Structure 1
């Protein structure tokens, strides 16, 4: 295991775009209104644990059911593609079950599946195929720190950026996420046919 700052930066940016904690500020604010409060620390720790555990055992889980990392990455690229379309076009393709929204929003839906959802888990495995685990763990840690700060300051961030600022950020990260989805898809296809 060796530290590579370029890999840490790349992995951090990929996870930041996929998790899209800034773009999810409107959802977080809405959940805070419905539930009264969000436990920022609890949500951050649970999301970080899910991502880190999946980094180390995700590939074994997939092998157990006969799926390769490249196949999972290709499937995940479709999820990322549709998430990016949601962000860019302002449409909703994925419907969340709001039945349990009033219980503990810190765990569901913030920690899972908003942060540690299909997109970020797919990205973790895709990054694992390219980068050293230590660099990805540091990237996860960086993103969890950002997530904690954003959760704590979501109301202030909303006032600072305004609705238009949040919409613009969401669209910019949508385009970045779309490019990442295409890259993951093409890399996965190339590796399958090698």
Structure 2
């Protein structure tokens, strides 16, 4: 039932899309503005959003008459542009920073961790990988997200800006490759 290769692939894909290490500067800034980041609350809320969308996202698509292949290609396009942002350092998407209250739900859990890219990726992954393997990949990423949220101050001191930039570029290239794989799978069937 569980496939280690699929779990690893899903985990790396989600790790690239969530890009929690690349978000550490935003998390640090949010912590300075809000005073405190509730790591547990943010992790649980983003996990709930991801799991709900994994199971209900397809029903929502059917309601609008959209098939998984079309949504996977759309998700692949979003992943492609996120990958371009990561590699080239340009911005296509703008985060909504209008609410910087002490709540860790907005903007931390949504849209920073479980944003449009992550939710789109989950449905795209469902078209390729088995659901139990996706759930394990989500859980592994949530554990990592929690650790990063808890240790963001320490990470800021140890890795530095240059280190985060390297992480961002490497995972941007991985994300671009995954997007191209999705295009090849659904455009050239």
Match for residue 89 of structure 2? Answer: 90
- Any conservation in 1 of the 2:84–2:172 contact (CA below 8 Å)? yes
User: Counterparts of 1:99 and 1:33 in 2: how far apart (Å)?
Assistant: 16
Measured against aligned partners, the alpha-carbon deviations of 1:96-134 in whole angstroms (never above 9, x if no partner) come to 222212352x11122111111122112211221122211
Give the match for residue 170 of structure 1: 168
Match of 1:120 in 2: 118
Aligned to 1:3: 2
Task: Report deviation, 1:165.
Answer: 0.7
Structure 2 residue runs of 5 or longer lacking an equivalent are: none
TM-score, normalisation: structure 2: 0.95
The answer for unaligned runs of 5 or more in structure 1 is: none
Greater than 6 Å deviation, 4+ residue runs: none
**1:175 aligned counterpart, secondary structure:** helix
**Residue matched to 1:29:** 28
Match of 1:139 in 2: 137
Q: Tell me the TM-score normalized by structure 1.
A: 0.92
Say what the alpha-carbon RMSD is for the aligned residues.
1.3
The answer to which of 51-60 and 110-119 deviates more is 110-119
By how many angstroms is 1:188 displaced?
Answer: 2.3
Aligned residues: 189
Structure-2 separation of matches of 1:4 and 1:161: 33
The one-character-per-residue Cα deviations of 1:51-88 (angstroms, maximum 9, x if unpaired) are 11111111111011011111111112221111111111
Counterpart of 1:38?
Answer: 37
